[in-house]
Amino acid sequence: MCRNGRLGKGTYQRMAEEETLTRRERRIAARQSQILTAAARVFSQKGYAGATTREIAETADMAEGTLYNYFGCKQDLLIGVAEAYADDVVAYMQSLAGDSMGDMMRQLFAARFRSGRERRLFMVLLSEARLNPDIDHSKIQAAFYRIIEATEAMLTAAITAGRMRPVNVQVAARAFSATIMGFGALFELGGDIRAGLTADNDGIFSPDWLGDMVTDLYLHGLKLEE
Amino acid sequence: MCRNGRLGKGTYQRMAEEETLTRRERRIAARQSQILTAAARVFSQKGYAGATTREIAETADMAEGTLYNYFGCKQDLLIGVAEAYADDVVAYMQSLAGDSMGDMMRQLFAARFRSGRERRLFMVLLSEARLNPDIDHSKIQAAFYRIIEATEAMLTAAITAGRMRPVNVQVAARAFSATIMGFGALFELGGDIRAGLTADNDGIFSPDWLGDMVTDLYLHGLKLEE
Amino acid sequence: MCRNGRLGKGTYQRMAEEETLTRRERRIAARQSQILTAAARVFSQKGYAGATTREIAETADMAEGTLYNYFGCKQDLLIGVAEAYADDVVAYMQSLAGDSMGDMMRQLFAARFRSGRERRLFMVLLSEARLNPDIDHSKIQAAFYRIIEATEAMLTAAITAGRMRPVNVQVAARAFSATIMGFGALFELGGDIRAGLTADNDGIFSPDWLGDMVTDLYLHGLKLEE
Amino acid sequence: MCRNGRLGKGTYQRMAEEETLTRRERRIAARQSQILTAAARVFSQKGYAGATTREIAETADMAEGTLYNYFGCKQDLLIGVAEAYADDVVAYMQSLAGDSMGDMMRQLFAARFRSGRERRLFMVLLSEARLNPDIDHSKIQAAFYRIIEATEAMLTAAITAGRMRPVNVQVAARAFSATIMGFGALFELGGDIRAGLTADNDGIFSPDWLGDMVTDLYLHGLKLEE
DNA sequence: AATGAATGAGACTTCATTCAT
DNA sequence: TATGAATGAAGTCTCATTCAT
- What secondary structure does DSSP assign to A8-70, as a single string? TT--HHHHTT-S---HHHHHHHHHHHHHHHHHHHHHHHHHHHH--HHHHHHHTTS-HHHHHHH
Cβ neighbours for C65, distance < 8 A, ≥ 6 positions apart: none
Locate the chain C residue with the closest alpha carbon to D102: C223
Locate the chain D residue with the closest alpha carbon to C165: D224
Percentage of residues of chain B with pLDDT beyond 90:
53
B60 within 8 A of B35, measured Cβ to Cβ: yes
In one letter, which amino acid is B171?
V
CA–C1' C72–E13 (A): 19
Q: How close D21 comes to chain C (CA, Å)?
A: 33
Q: Calculate the alpha carbon distances from C65 to A62, A133, C60, C62 in Å.
A: 22, 26, 12, 8
Q: Which residues of C touch D185 (CB under 8 A)?
A: 126-127, 130, 178, 181-182, 185
Locate the chain C residue with the closest alpha carbon to D117: C131
Cβ–Cβ gap B200/A172 under 8 Å: no
Selecting from D45, D120, D224 the residue whose C-beta is nearest the C-beta of C165 gives D224
pLDDT of residue B19: 58
pLDDT of residue D12: 46
Mean pLDDT, residues B123-136 taken together: 87
pLDDT of residue A207: 85
Cβ–Cβ gap B141/A189 under 8 Å: yes
Residue B72 has pLDDT above 60, yes or no: yes
Helix (H, G, I), strand (E, B) or coil at D166: coil
Selecting from C132, C191, C214 the residue whose C-beta is nearest the C-beta of D145 gives C191
The DSSP secondary-structure symbol of D163 reads: S
pLDDT of residue A204: 67
C221 within 8 A of D221, measured Cβ to Cβ: yes
CA-wise closest residue to B10 among B31, B34, B41: B31
pLDDT of residue B202: 64
CA-wise closest residue to B84 among B36, B126, B142, B127: B36
Selecting from D123, D191, D210 the residue whose C-beta is nearest the C-beta of C127 gives D123
Q: How close C92 comes to chain D (CA, Å)?
A: 20
Distance of CA D154 to the CA centre of its chain: 17
Helix (H, G, I), strand (E, B) or coil at C218: helix
Q: Which residue approaches F18 most closely, CA to C1'?
A: A65
Cβ neighbours for B181, distance < 8 A, ≥ 6 positions apart: A178, A181, A182, A185, A186, B122, B123, B126
- In whole angstroms, give the CA distance from residue C110 to residue C122: 15
A59 vs B22: which has the higher pLDDT: A59
Q: Calculate the alpha carbon distances from A16 to A11, A139, C124, C186 in Å.
A: 10, 16, 64, 77
CA–C1' D30–F1 (A): 15
Pick out the nucleotide with least CA–C1' distance to B64. F8
Chains B and A touch (3+ CB pairs under 8 A): yes
Pick out the nucleotide with least CA–C1' distance to A64. E4
Taking the model in full, what pTM does it have?
Answer: 0.90
Q: Is C50 exposed, middle or buried (0-12, 13-18, 19+ CB in 10 A)?
A: middle
CA–C1' C48–F13 (A): 17
CA–C1' D136–E19 (A): 27
CA-wise closest residue to D208 among D128, D111, D79, D81: D111
- In whole angstroms, give the CA distance from residue B88 to residue B67: 23
Chain E nucleotides covered by protein, CB below 7 Å? 1-20
Question: How would you write the pLDDT of chain D (226 residues) with one tens digit per residue?
Answer: 565 444 444 444 444 455 677 888 899 999 999 999 999 999 999 999 999 999 999 999 999 999 999 999 999 999 999 999 999 999 999 898 777 888 988 888 888 888 888 888 988 998 888 888 788 889 999 999 999 999 999 999 999 999 999 999 999 999 988 998 888 888 888 888 887 777 555 666 788 888 899 999 999 998 887 6
Selecting from D123, D138, D178 the residue whose C-beta is nearest the C-beta of C179 gives D178
Q: Is D4 exposed, middle or buried (0-12, 13-18, 19+ CB in 10 A)?
A: middle
CB < 7 Å to strand E — which of 46-75 in chain A?
Answer: 62-66, 68-70
Mean pLDDT, residues B6-19 taken together: 47
- In whole angstroms, give the CA distance from residue C158 to residue A210: 83
Q: Which residue approaches E18 most closely, CA to C1'?
A: D65
Mean pLDDT, residues B195-221 taken together: 81
Q: Which residues of C touch D209 (CB under 8 A)?
A: none
Q: How close B141 comes to chain A (CA, Å)?
A: 6
Confidence of residue B153 (pLDDT cuts 50, 70, 90): very high
A159 within 8 A of A169, measured Cβ to Cβ: yes
Selecting from B45, B123, B173 the residue whose C-beta is nearest the C-beta of A127 gives B123
pLDDT of residue A80: 96
Pick out the nucleotide with least CA–C1' distance to D63. F3
Interface test with C, best of D171, D197, D206, D220 (most C CBs within 10 A): D171
Q: Calculate the alpha carbon distances from C105 to C169, C212, C213, C214, D217 in Å.
A: 15, 9, 11, 9, 15
CA–C1' C63–E9 (A): 12
Locate the chain B residue with the closest alpha carbon to A101: B223
Q: How close B32 comes to chain A (CA, Å)?
A: 25
- In whole angstroms, give the CA distance from residue B141 to residue B134: 15
CA–C1' D125–E12 (A): 32
Selecting from D133, D189, D220 the residue whose C-beta is nearest the C-beta of C50 gives D133
CA-wise closest residue to C210 among C118, C112, C117, C121: C112
Q: Which residues of D touch C199 (CB under 8 A)?
A: 170
- In whole angstroms, give the CA distance from residue A120 to residue A131: 16
Chains D and C touch (3+ CB pairs under 8 A): yes
Pick out the nucleotide with least CA–C1' distance to D70. F1
In one letter, which amino acid is D21?
L
H-run or E-run covering C216: helix C207-220
CB < 7 Å to strand F — which of 30-69 in chain B?
Answer: 31, 62-66, 68-69
Q: Which residues of A touch B216 (CB under 8 A)?
A: 167
Cβ–Cβ gap D200/C170 under 8 Å: yes
Locate the chain C residue with the closest alpha carbon to D46: C131
Q: How big is chain C, counted in residues? A: 226
Asked whether residue B11's C-beta has any atom of DNA/RNA strand F within 7 A, the reply is no
Q: How close B33 comes to chain A (CA, Å)?
A: 24
- In whole angstroms, give the CA distance from residue A95 to residue A88: 11
Asked whether residue B45's C-beta has any atom of DNA/RNA strand E within 7 A, the reply is no
Asked whether residue D64's C-beta has any atom of DNA/RNA strand F within 7 A, the reply is yes
Cβ–Cβ gap B179/A179 under 8 Å: yes
Asked whether residue A191's C-beta has any atom of DNA/RNA strand E within 7 A, the reply is no
Q: How far apart are the first and last CA of chain A?
A: 61
Question: How would you write the pLDDT of chain C (226 residues) with one tens digit per residue?
Answer: 576 544 444 434 444 445 567 888 899 999 999 999 999 999 999 999 999 999 999 999 999 999 999 999 999 999 999 999 999 999 999 998 888 888 988 998 888 888 888 888 988 898 888 888 888 889 999 999 999 999 999 999 999 999 999 999 999 999 999 998 888 888 888 888 887 777 555 666 788 888 999 999 999 998 887 6
Q: Is D124 exposed, middle or buried (0-12, 13-18, 19+ CB in 10 A)?
A: buried
Pick out the nucleotide with least CA–C1' distance to C72. F13
Pick out the nucleotide with least CA–C1' distance to D66. F2
Cβ–Cβ gap C133/D46 under 8 Å: yes
Low-confidence ranges of chain A (pLDDT < 70): 1-19, 199-204, 225-226
pLDDT of residue B10: 41
Q: Which residue approaches E19 most closely, CA to C1'?
A: D65
CA–C1' A54–F16 (A): 9
Locate the chain B residue with the closest alpha carbon to A181: B182
Chain F nucleotides covered by protein, CB below 7 Å? 1-20
Residue B15 has pLDDT above 50, yes or no: no
- Helical spans, DSSP H, in chain D: 12-15, 23-50, 53-59, 64-70, 74-95, 101-114, 116-131, 137-160, 169-189, 191-198, 207-220
Chains in contact with B, where contact means 3 or more Cβ–Cβ distances below 8 Å, are A
Asked whether residue A1's C-beta has any atom of DNA/RNA strand F within 7 A, the reply is yes
pLDDT of residue D129: 85
pLDDT of residue C9: 46
CA-wise closest residue to C151 among C112, C207, C184, C188: C112
Residue B146 has pLDDT above 50, yes or no: yes
- In whole angstroms, give the CA distance from residue D196 to residue D200: 8
pLDDT of residue A10: 41
